[in-house]
Amino acid sequence: MKHTFFLLVSFLFLASARADWLWKNDLVAATPEHNGYQARFTFTNNGSKPVAVAGLNFSCPCTVFDYKAAPARPGGSASLVIHLKLEGNVIPGQDLNLIVWSDSFAASKELTIHIPDEDTRGGKH
């Protein structure tokens, strides 16, 4: 009986001490920037440990990008900012899907970036 109790208490402690994120948006329209586009996603940490973006992968490995993301403390929010370059498969008018995962636990989130039509990038018709 004591063994079962300690297992239950250990499980409840681990479950309550995990990091958890809630994404404000999972679809964003990219904004044009020099030589590419920028997309910004925001998440809130609903857990009891800090959470940070550990990495991301696009559905097409030929997507050229870099990103910055600050960790979010428990109860806090943070942003994931992705810079997409005009190389690779970044085509105006399309959606790019990606998977982002955290450093604190085995969780991932699918996100989508909409690339605006070319006529929004400086008047091309």
Look at the alpha carbons of 95, 34, 24, 55 in this order and tell me if their dihedral is positive or negative. Answer: positive
Look-up: residue for tokens 């097409």? 60
Longest dimension (CA), the chain: 74
Residues forming beta bridges with residue 32, ordered by sequence position:
37
For residues 78 and 27, give the distance between their C-alpha atoms in angstroms, rounded to a whole number.
Answer: 16
Rg (CA), the chain: 19
Q: What is the pLDDT along the chain (125 residues), one digit of tens a residue?
A: 544 433 333 443 444 445 588 999 999 999 999 889 999 999 999 988 888 999 999 988 888 999 999 999 999 999 999 999 988 778 889 999 999 999 866 578 999 999 998 755 454 43
The model's pTM is 0.77
